[in-house]
């Protein structure tokens, strides 16, 4: 089996990072990997910055990823990608949602949303942008943005040999199932 891999999923409270990491870890476990996942919530429910650390391989010890250790950084929001950038390995991949959520100091006009972050990151790492919101809106299901991003991640992490449909079927409520399956597919197809 492979060496331990680390995926860091970051975003803003309420964006659905939790569901994405739940599906991912379930699939990894069922494939036979040892899996650990760590997340910090609490205050972060209220629109704060959130993160889920996922590690898998033959035998995993630490559930947290150290700075400079993530193979892939999946960010649900542009500025959050930069905030967590130094968790990525030099040579790692950053999958970034083409989406901005201004934080409180920006909303109240104390400061502006920072510009040029993506360009700066692209100088040092492989940046893969995903228009997840547009794709989700195209499916008339804005709330499936998280699953679009999960689809993109699965493709980039080369985990498409796992039967994800089967896992999504068991985790996602019936009502949202079809929409989420289409979102997942669209996400996979959005990257190469």
Partner 1 sequence: MKQLMTGNEAIARGAYEAGIRFASAYPGTPSTEILENIALYKDDIVAEWAPNEKVALEAVIGYSIAGGRAIASMKQVGLNVAADPLFSFAYTGCNGSAVIITADEPGIHSSQTEQDNRYYAKMAKLPMLEPTDSQQAKDMVIAACEISEKYRTPVIIRMTTRICHSKSIVELGSRREVPNKEYKKDIWQFTTMPAVSQKLRFQLEERLKKLTEEANNSPFNHIEWNNKSIGVIANGIAYQYAKEVFGEEASYLRIGFSYPIPMELITEFASRVDTLYVIEEVEPFLEEEIRAAGIECHGKDLLPRIGELSPKIIEETIKGVKKELLPMQPDKVTSRPPVLCPGCAHRAVFYELSKRKDLFISGDIGCYGLGALPPLSAMDTCICMGASVSAGHGAAKAFKGYNLDKHVVSVIGDSTFFHSGMTSLLNVVYNKSKTTTVILDNRITGMTGHQDHPGTGYTAQGEESQEASIEKIVNSLGVNDVKTINPLQLTELHEAIDSALENPEPSVIIARWPCALKKLSAKDKEEFGKHVKRYIVKKEQCIGCKKCIRTGCPALRYDKGNKKVLIDPIMCNGCSLCAQVCPVGAIVLDRK
The verdict on 141 binding partner 1 (CB under 8 A) reads no
Report CA torsion sign: 162, 167, 168, 169.
Answer: positive
Give the residue with the Cβ less far from partner 1, 68 or 178.
68
Binding flag, residue 34, partner 1 (CB under 8 A): yes
CB of 54 to partner 1, least distance (A): 9
Tokens for 44, please give them.
Answer: 């972060």
Q: Is 42 in the site for partner 1 (CB under 8 A)?
A: yes
| Residue 98 in the binding site for partner 1 (CB under 8 A) | no
CB of 94 to partner 1, least distance (A): 10
Sign of CA dihedral 101, 107, 110, 116: positive
Burial class (CB in 10 A: 0-12, 13-18, 19+), 80: buried
Q: At what angle do helices 17-30 and 145-156 cross, to 10 degrees?
A: 40
CA distances from 50 to 5, 44, 73, 133, 164 (A): 20, 6, 13, 19, 24
Smaller CB separation from partner 1, 37 or 157: 37
Task: In angstroms, give the least distance from the CB of 156 to partner 1.
Answer: 18
* 168 secondary structure, DSSP code: H
Minimum distance from CB of 45 to partner 1 (Å)? 7
Choose between 48 and 179: whose C-beta lies nearer to partner 1: 48
Nearer to partner 1, 109 or 173 (CB): 109
Residue 102 within binding range of partner 1, rule CB under 8 A: yes
User: What is the distance between the alpha carbons of residues 72 and 68, in angstroms, rounded to a whole number?
Assistant: 11
Contact between 2 and partner 1 per CB under 8 A: no
Site for partner 1 (CB under 8 A): which residue of 1, 58, 100, 124? 124
Q: How far apart are CA 154 and CA 164, in angstroms?
A: 9
Cβ–Cβ < 8 Å for 89, 71 = yes
Chain residues that interact with partner 1, rule: CB under 8 A: 12-13, 25-26, 29, 34-49, 60-64, 66-69, 79-80, 82-83, 85-86, 88, 90, 102-109, 111-114, 117, 120, 124-125, 142
């Amino acid at each position: 089996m492979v060496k331990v891999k680390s995926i860091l999923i970051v975003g803003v409270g309420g964006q659905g990072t939790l569901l994405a990491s739940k599906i991912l870890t379930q699939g990894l476990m069922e494939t036979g990997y040892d899996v650990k996942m760590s997340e910090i919530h609490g205050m972060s429910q209220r629109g704060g910055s959130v993160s889920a650390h996922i590690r898998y391989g033959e035998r995993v010890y630490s559930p947290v990823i150290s700075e400079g250790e993530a193979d892939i950084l999946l960010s649900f929001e542009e500025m959050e990608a930069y905030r967590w950038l130094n968790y990525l390995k030099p040579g790692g991949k950053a999958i970034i949602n083409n989406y901005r959520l201004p934080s409180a100091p920006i909303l109240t006009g104390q400061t502006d949303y920072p510009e040029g972050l993506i360009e700066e990151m692209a100088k040092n790492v492989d940046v893969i942008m995903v228009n997840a919101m547009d794709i989700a809106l195209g499916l008339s299901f804005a709330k499936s943005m998280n699953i679009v991003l999960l689809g993109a991640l699965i493709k980039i992490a080369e985990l498409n040999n796992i039967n994800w449909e089967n896992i999504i079927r068991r985790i996602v409520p019936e009502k949202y199932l079809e929409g989420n399956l289409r979102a997942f597919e669209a996400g996979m197809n959005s990257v190469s």
